[in-house]
A and B are shown apart, each in its own frame.
Chain A
Amino acid sequence: KQEVTQIPAALSVPEGENLVLNCSFTDSAIYNLQWFRQDPGKGLTSLLLIQSSQREQTSGRLNASLDKSSGRSTLYIAASQPGDSATYLCAVATNAGKSTFGDGTTLTVKP
């Protein structure tokens, strides 16, 4: 059974800092890995999807990497802004359409 762990559970940084969020998973036979952002009481917004054959994906100030052999993914956020404050979720799909989610990392960026 796939298990997904996100560390840290919460992170508070001053505006402008670069930061890294971590996601680890136990079963390396994955289909893809997707990073989401969730604002309080809202749905999930897809940030980046890395397919099993890829090593990283970039979108603006976000960069996500994937190392299947070690069961890890990182989400790098450059030059953080207060608007980046949210909960970031990692989801690992081990077969078509079935994803296991981590507990999330709650990020606070202070002005």
Chain B
Amino acid sequence: ETGVTQTPRHLVMGMTNKKSLKCEQHLGHNAMYWYKQSAKKPLELMFVYSLEERVENNSVPSRFSPECPNSSHLFLHLHTLQPEDSALYLCASSRTSGSSYEQYFGPGTRLTVT
């Protein structure tokens, strides 16, 4: 266990559905991240929150909407997704002090869009 949990672990949704992914970290970190991992592609950074403010948005389509209500929780709200959005969605957290920024990852949510 890395101290970062994600729910659900698996999700199947239709293109018209609305769902949310949840991430929670128990490490006392103050930065949280969403990554997308598609087959045969490197991990893609989607969003970064530092001290609950969004500091990075890597040209992600608006059908993905992140929310960070506090430093321990991160959500990814999904609506009107496309089949190409099927992937493993990984959450990570880190500190923002010092020069470490070592990232700890959750187990991921396997998303299938039908």
A residues sitting closer than 8 Å to B (CB atoms) are 4, 31-32, 34, 36, 41-46, 49, 51-53, 89, 91, 93, 96-104
Contacts and interface: CB of A to CB of B under 8 A. Distances in A.
Interface of B: 2, 4, 6, 31, 33, 41-43, 45, 48, 50, 55-56, 88, 90, 92, 94, 96, 99-108, 110
Nearest to A53: B99
A97 B94 contact: yes
Q: Is the interface of A mostly helix, strand, loop or mixed?
A: strand
Contact of B100 (A36, A41, A43, A51): A51
Contacts of B48: 97-98
Contacts of B41: 103
A49 B90 CA distance: 19
A61 to B, nearest CB: 20
Contacts of B45: 98-100
